[in-house]
């Protein structure tokens, strides 16, 4: 399996460096699926610090934001397009039906 990468300088990564994982569908359209981004800004507002092992130096923590599948909506769109519409049982409108054996047991008409 081969992976390709490219640098997108100035690509809207607000907090710090970002790795974006893109996938292609059957029509060769690219979608950003998952991301991993370092955040140097958010923790500044909380004034968080920690000391190193020898306690000689004070450091600031870095937050890591991870989105495995991107947004749920885009992941569903990718799956629906990939399978050309048919979906699994988790998306069907009527998951099960009750068939009473006796008309006296029928609760709804």
Residue 108 lies in a domain: no
Tokens of 55: 């306690």
Q: Which residues fall within 8 angstroms of residue 107, CB to CB, at 6 or more apart?
A: 100
Residue 22 lies in a domain: yes
**What is the number of domains present in the chain?**
1
pTM over 0.75: no
Residue 96 lies in a domain: no
Residue 92 lies in a domain: no
Residue 104 lies in a domain: no
Residue 94 lies in a domain: no
Q: Report how far residue 107's alpha carbon sits from residue 109's, in angstroms, rounded to the nearest whole number.
A: 7
Element spanning 76, H or E:
helix 72-82
Residue 9 lies in a domain: no
What's the pLDDT tens digit per position in 44-68? Answer: 888 888 888 888 888 888 888 888 7
Q: Report how far residue 66's alpha carbon sits from residue 9's, in angstroms, rounded to the nearest whole number.
A: 20
Q: Which residues fall within 8 angstroms of residue 80, CB to CB, at 6 or more apart?
A: 87
What's the pLDDT tens digit per position in 57-106? Answer: 888 888 888 887 777 777 777 777 777 776 666 566 666 666 667 666 65
Q: Which domain holds residue 50?
A: 18-83
Residue 1 lies in a domain: no
């Amino acid at each position: 399996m081969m992976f390709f990468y490219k640098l997108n300088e100035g690509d809207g990564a607000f907090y710090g460096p970002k790795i974006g994982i893109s996938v292609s569908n059957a029509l060769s359209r690219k979608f950003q699926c998952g991301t991993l981004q370092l955040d140097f800004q958010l923790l500044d507002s909380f004034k968080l610090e920690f000391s190193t092992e020898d306690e000689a130096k004070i450091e600031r923590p870095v937050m890591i934001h991870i989105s495995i599948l991107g947004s749920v909506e885009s992941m569903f769109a990718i799956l629906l397009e990939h399978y050309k519409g048919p979906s699994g049982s988790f998306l069907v409108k009527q998951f099960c039906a009750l068939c009473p054996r006796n008309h006296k047991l029928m609760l709804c008409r």
